[in-house]
Amino acid sequence: MNLRETMLAEQQLKALFEQAKGYAFEYAEAIADRAVFPTPQAIADLEQFVEAMPGHPGDASSILQQLHDYGSPASVAQTGGRYFGFVNGGIIPVTLATKWLTDFWDQNTALQLMSPITSKLEEVCQRWLQQLLGLPDTTVAGFVSGTSSAIFCGLAAARLRIYGNHGWDFNQQGHNGAPPIRIIAGRHTHGAVIKAIALLGFGLDNIEWVEGDDQGRIDQNQMPELDATCIVILQAGNVNSGAFDPFDQICDNANAAGAWVHIDGAFGLWAGGTERLKHLTQGMEKAHSWSLDGHKTLNTPYDSGILLCRDKEALVTALQASGAYLTSNYGEQRDGMMYTPEMSRRARAIELWAALKYLGKSGVDELVYGLHQRAVQFADELKQANFTVHNDVVFNQVIVSPSDNDGTTMAVLEQIQSSGECWVGSSVWQGNKVIRISVCSWMTSPEDISRSVRAFIHARELICGK
């Protein structure tokens, strides 16, 4: 058989897919009890993938077996209940199943004509997100790879609108000779924001920094006087403490001055969709653009970032796309590429739709508040074990240390990581090394927390003898 005939047979016989399903189920069944981080042997075995580029087609079944035998053990068990290192969410079963189905569809979602189903579900998700988060009806959504891209889009729309308000057509005239734009940001702004500012050409030296309080919230009393040349960047969920900036008054002041406000809420903005935590996001609806991730707090599969913007014209114009071959229904049906930097994109919004459809408003509240409950439990049990918790646990983040000695903290952290019982990361808080805990998987149970705390205690005993 030639290559096409071989691949056609593989598709029709379905044995490959059954093989992959078996491996996937085997992985899922072991996830709760396996070491959270790969063993040194598993990492060493990755050398099995190092070879010269094959000269001829290979055996598909052997390729899958190699991935399972050497790839699965070298993966991080972030879909289990004891991974707390980065804000990497778990994965809701219905969204994983949806991803499997839509991978078979293999849709390109640039235009409605390319994928009517994706266009329709992007439209539905946009409306549901407006309703869930209490955003203006004019808000449009761009479905991108992650918050880094979403921030870029939001600030691009802000740039275009502010320049346009001052008679400057940025798409035509660019930065050369343009009037200045002021960027206002808190000292605890996430690195993804800094990256977007640099990529958009604003210049990091031009940021007007605003100091924060002891929880990392921007201090609204130290905000500079705003005007119509300002882009103000606020944060829903400090990456260390989980704290939320005071949106209400700052947004009022910005709107009165004609400034643009972008809220970076990769994991924290979902608090606005809960009954019990939405006080954290009070006033956020007064901003102009928002960025968040489905693959963090909402536990969709990875590659699920969302940009929300209430100024459709600014966003679409900033992310312009054209070409004689691009037959668009813009204005009649939703063409997804109008709201994103990419043209070709996978159908990521269908997984988001499945999550929102499955959870509903009460399910979102239960999921998000449950993460908060587990974070509070983590902090309380660590305090009872005489660890120092450095933040007010308002959402899903805990920062902790076993002592005030940076060397001891890092040694305990390394011992925890190597134990395989749980995985947590490190950070710096107010000049000191800390252990950073992010609770972000629906799988995490109360027992997972207690088991992880025992790993903390055991690690401290090994390092400190007590």
Cα–chain center distance at 86: 10
Q: Are 378 and 358 in contact (CB under 8 A)?
A: no
Tokens standing for 68?
């399972």
Distances (CA, A) of 353 to 95, 98, 318: 9, 10, 26
Q: How many CB atoms lie within 10 A of CB 311?
A: 21
Q: Are 238 and 208 in contact (CB under 8 A)?
A: no
Instruction: Read off the pLDDT of residues 425-462 as tens digits, 9 standing for 90 and up.
Output: 999 999 999 999 999 999 999 999 999 999 999 999 99
Tokens standing for 460?
């401290």
Q: Are 460 and 399 in contact (CB under 8 A)?
A: no
CA distance 163 to 170: 6
CATH superfamily ID and name for 359-464: Aspartate Aminotransferase, domain 1 (3.90.1150.10)
Close Cβ partners of 13 (under 8 Å, ≥ 6 residues apart) = none
CA distance 382 to 364: 27
Cα–chain center distance at 36: 20
One-letter amino acid for residue 52 of the chain: A
Strand, coil or helix: what is 35?
coil
- The set of long-range contacts for 358-366, using a CB threshold of 8 Å and a minimum separation of 24, is 358/92, 358/94, 358/95, 359/92, 359/298, 361/132, 361/273, 364/132, 364/270, 364/273, 364/274, 364/298, 365/273, 365/274, 365/275, 365/276
Q: What's the confidence (pLDDT) of residue 321?
A: 62
CA distance 288 to 145: 21
Tokens standing for 324?
């004689």
Q: Compute the chain's Rg from CA coordinates.
A: 24
Could you say which residues of the chain have pLDDT below 50? Answer: 324-326
CA distance 299 to 93: 9
- Residue with token string 């604003």: 202
Residue 455 exposure: Cα atoms within 13 Å on the Cβ side: 24
Distances (CA, A) of 178 to 96, 106, 276: 47, 43, 45
Residue 150 exposure: Cα atoms within 13 Å on the Cβ side: 27
Distances (CA, A) of 161 to 151, 260, 310, 375: 15, 9, 12, 40
Longest dimension (CA), the chain: 74
One-letter amino acid for residue 18 of the chain: E
Q: Which fold has domain 98-357?
A: Aspartate Aminotransferase; domain 2 (3.40.640)
Q: What's the confidence (pLDDT) of residue 458?
A: 97
Distances (CA, A) of 149 to 177, 196, 346, 466: 27, 8, 15, 46
Q: What's the confidence (pLDDT) of residue 324?
A: 45
Q: Which of 356, 351, 352 has the alpha carbon at shortest distance from 103?
A: 351
Tokens standing for 336?
């997804």
